[in-house]
Structure 1
Amino acid sequence: MIKPLTSAILLALASFSTQAAEFVLTDAATGRDVGNWQVSSKSLGIDAATPFSIEKRRLHGGKQEGVDILVVNNGVMEITLVPTRGMGIYQVKSGDLRLGWDSPVKEIVNPAFIDLESRNGLGWLDGFNEMMVRCGYEWTGHPGVDENGQLLSLHGRVQNTPASSVKVIIDDQAPHRIRILGEVSERTFKKAELVTATELSVEPGSNRFELHDALTNRADYVDEYQIIYHSNFGTPILEAGAKFVTAASEISPFNDYARKGLHSWQTYLAPTKDFDEMVFNLKPKGDAEGNTLAVLHNQAGNAGVAVGYNIQQLPVLTLWKNTDTKQQGYVTGIEPGTSYAYNTKYQRPLGLVPKIQPGETKHFDLSYTLLRNADETTTALSQVAKLQGSDPVREVKQPQVDLSKK
């Protein structure tokens, strides 16, 4: 019995090797690190309809010293991932279109230079400049003291945790899908053992990429978890007259300040001095499988981004409007999550602090589509309209949490 089983395994491995090229770039378990590295369709001998390349670079100077970035060029767009910062996405560029924003934080900051508990838990902001930031997983939301007396810093720890492993997989067969796999762990003695397997997937020539994350509780005890996919966009999409459209049953202001902007929650101002951030809580609507879409487009309606996700995995949506001056950070956030941005202790009564059992895995799937012209924007808006149906979004004037009494 042993010989046939061994032969079968070898045959399976040989079959797999003809289907994909695999490169391990980082592995903490073995101490592996390839340093600066690159691969392309040409170097792999792939006669791709759309040539592609992947490059790993290590940054130097200032607070970005030692940061690794991965630049994936699929022939249509250039995606910059940051393994050193929780496998976040710094920016996406395609011609004149950019997904990302101009933060006062100019360097891609190494987490070694960040104290998350500084400024009463706001230290996370010292490195905040990415297009997509994972907020979680042990907790997320605004900083504050939890019910057990522990200070929970802003938006958790995962974005300031370097990946323990990074792997690139490229399919040999057309369309030669590219997958970037990472593992990010939040392990604290007596506290948590949450491990997230992240994956970015993209096809050469496509204007869309996907995220597939799997969060596993490796501890022997049940734990809480929270996640917000903080997706941030500035110019050239964000401008005076830009519009946000999504399928939702309800919207409410995060706090009293946001209440005065509820009537114009879908549209944006030009950069405006003294505009404090406005945050809105939405209850998204999905199709029969739970899939939904949120769209941000410029004033002309000929450029934008569509963010797709599943409301069975990520049941709430936060809209963050920060149309301050360009120097201060002119940006808006589309943020699907398990939770809103309130501190954890305020979200438990809302039923927005889920639990994960020992050995259990939770999956989160998202997509980002660059809308490069009016036709693509119109198509995305039509998809949102179909999800919305004939029922309007109900505007609730009262915040879900009365922070004035906290």
Structure 2
Amino acid sequence: MAIQKQAWEHKLSNHLQLGGIETAVLDNGPGRGTRIAWINTGAGLRYKVVIDRAMDIADAFFNQHSLAWISHGGVTAPQRLTDKGLDWLQTFGGGLMTTCGLTHVGGPESDEYGERGLHGPISNTPAEIISIIQPDPVNGQMEMSITGIIQQVQVLGPQLVLKRTISGTLGKAGIRVHDEVINRGNTTAPHMLLYHFNFGWPLVDEGADICWEGDWRSRAGNPDHIFRQDNNYKKCMAPQDSHAGGGEEAAIIDVAAGADGWCTCGIHNAGLALALSLRFKKQQLPVLTNWQHWGKGEYVMGLEPGTHPPTGQAKARREGTLIMMTPGESRHYELQVDLLHTAAAIEQFKTDLSTSIHH
């Protein structure tokens, strides 16, 4: 097939003039020594993959606009000793995507099956990079990807391995995440997984629309100032004094899916003429959590697709919903993030939402 003539034909010396993947090591502050990869899509979207933290995504920008909430601490080196209690929060950098799991998502708990800290240890685990594929636009190769292996293993215990590929297409403002979780052990292992997407200013701002469809319930323990039927819980709020410290609310959503089985959620900020679409498969990730924390100086809204709500392994076990993976079993997860900045693309995003099927 003939390669379509491009505006840059005969004008490129290096693919990095358009975009690509650049790996580096941070050399200052609490992230010192942490490996990262900057990925530039060549279409206004660029983002930082933190290789030493399960290949989670930290900073993300579309043109001049920041998309992600970054915590006060930002990127820190992984600290496996923070797997107890609420210590996870000490190294939680926020960022566009933080992985929670692989055997527990939710608050700290302890039972006859062991002690589990907030959201599990996977985000505090470095990856072994096994592949980086750069784009080669001169030869018509516009795809690029980075693949790594992250191990949550314990001698004489569960051996779960996460194989993660983050990929994209040069010239398209999108991110694809493909995860495979494999039980490499010789015993059955519990499995829970949640993708903690954290959106911040200016994408998240007063009046921006929080987009999702589905039946929902307020998370247990909420004050229900936001998530109640007579309130518009799908509009981003101004900073709230009531959200100082641990103030927050969350809704657990039985997210609606399209006829193709894909769920669509995201944010539309009309003031920026920008929408972010987050898509995932209902069969793989049936539950969506919407976290709203409008603290002053800690202003963040989360959309969190997961195998379960973030209510812990013990509850999932009691309710019979805990996934038990047999030796050699694997499970696949796919997510797609797209930045939409034309009226037609934003309209299509809204159409996809409104035509979702409620289960």
Q: Which amino acid aligns with 2:98?
A: V
- Please state whether the residue corresponding to 1:257 is helix, strand or coil: coil
Q: 1:131 pairs with 78, 96, 101, which one?
A: 96
Residue 255 of structure 2 corresponds to: 284
Q: Which residue does the alignment assign to 1:176? A: 142
Instruction: Tell me what 1:295 maps to.
Output: 266
Deviations, residues 198-235 of structure 1 (Å, cap 9, x unaligned): 00110011011110000000011111100001001011
SS at match of 1:220: coil
Residues in 2 aligned to 1:323 and 1:220: alpha-carbon distance in whole angstroms: 45
Counterpart-to-counterpart distance in 2, 1:175 and 1:271: 45
Alpha-carbon spacing, 1:42–1:161, altered in 2? closer, same or farther (3 Å): farther
Kindly indicate whether residue 123 of structure 2 is the aligned counterpart of residue 155 of structure 1: no
Deviation at 1:114, TM superposition (A): 5.5
Summarize the alignment of residues 181-330 of structure 1 with structure 2, pairs less than 5 Å apart: 181-248=147-214, 250-262=215-227, 263=229, 264-275=232-243, 276-298=247-269, 300=271, 302-326=273-297, 329-330=298-299
Render the CA deviation track for 1:92-136: whole Å, top value 9, x for unaligned.
212122221132213x1001385221xxx1111112122101101
SS in structure 1 of the partner of residue 134 of structure 2: strand
| Counterpart-to-counterpart distance in 1, 2:96 and 2:255 | 22
- Corresponding residue for 2:59? 91
Cα–Cα, structure 1 residues 312 and 104, in superposed 2: closer, same or farther, change >3 Å? same
Shifted more, 156-165 versus 254-263: the winner is 254-263
1:349 to 318, 328, 338: 318
1:386 lines up with 2:355 in the alignment: yes
Matches of 2:176 and 2:223, distance apart in 1: 31
Runs (5+) with no aligned partner, structure 2: 1-11
2:7: which partner in 1? none
2:32 equivalent to 1:65: yes
- Partners of 2:213 and 2:319 in 1: how far apart? 21
Tell me which amino acid in the other structure corresponds to 1:94.
F
Structure 1 342/126 Cα, relative in aligned 2: closer, same or farther at 3 Å?
A: same
Whether contact under 8 Å (2:53, 2:78) holds in the other structure is yes
Cα gap change, 1:332/1:59 in structure 2, threshold over 3 Å: closer, same or farther?
Answer: same
Matches within 5 A, 1:36-115: 42-43=13-14, 51-76=18-43, 77-106=45-74, 108-112=75-79, 115=82
C-alpha deviation, 1:259, in angstroms: 2.9
CA-to-partner distance for each residue in 1:218-276, whole Å, 9 max, x for gaps? 0111111000010010111111112212231x100002424332233212211112221
Residues 8-45 of structure 1 show CA distances to partners (whole Å, capped at 9, x for unaligned) of xxxxxxxxxxxxxxxxxxxxxxxxxxxxxxxxx744xx
Which residue does 2:6 correspond to in 1?
Answer: none
Q: Which moved more, 1:227-236 or 1:364-373?
A: 364-373
Mapped contact 1:338–1:353 kept (Cα < 8 A): no
Asked if the contact 1:54/1:73 (under 8 Å) is kept, the reply is yes
Q: Where do 5+ consecutive residues of structure 1 fail to align?
A: 1-40, 394-406
Larger Rg: 1 or 2? 1
- Is the CA contact 1:258–1:279 (under 8 Å) kept in the aligned structure 2? no
> What's the RMSD between the two structures over aligned residues?
2.1
Amino acid aligned to 2:165: E
**Change in 2 beyond 3 A, CA 1:123/1:374:** farther
Provide the C-alpha distance between the structure 2 equivalents of 1:42 and 1:252, rounded to a whole number of angstroms: 55
8 Å CA contact 2:135, 2:170 repeated in 1? no
CA distance in 1, matches of 2:281, 2:291: 20
SS of 1:346's equivalent in the other structure is helix
User: Which amino acid in structure 2 is aligned with residue 157 of structure 1?
Assistant: P
Tell me the residue number matched to 1:13.
Answer: none
Matched residues, number: 338
CA distance, structure 1, for counterparts of residue 147 and residue 233 of structure 2: 36
The letter for the 2-side match of 1:359 is G
Q: TM-score, normalised by structure 2?
A: 0.88
Q: State whether residues 103 and 313 of structure 2, in contact with CA within 8 Å, keep that contact through their aligned partners in structure 1.
A: no
The answer on whether the counterparts of 2:265 and 2:353 sit within 8 Å (CA) in structure 1 is: yes
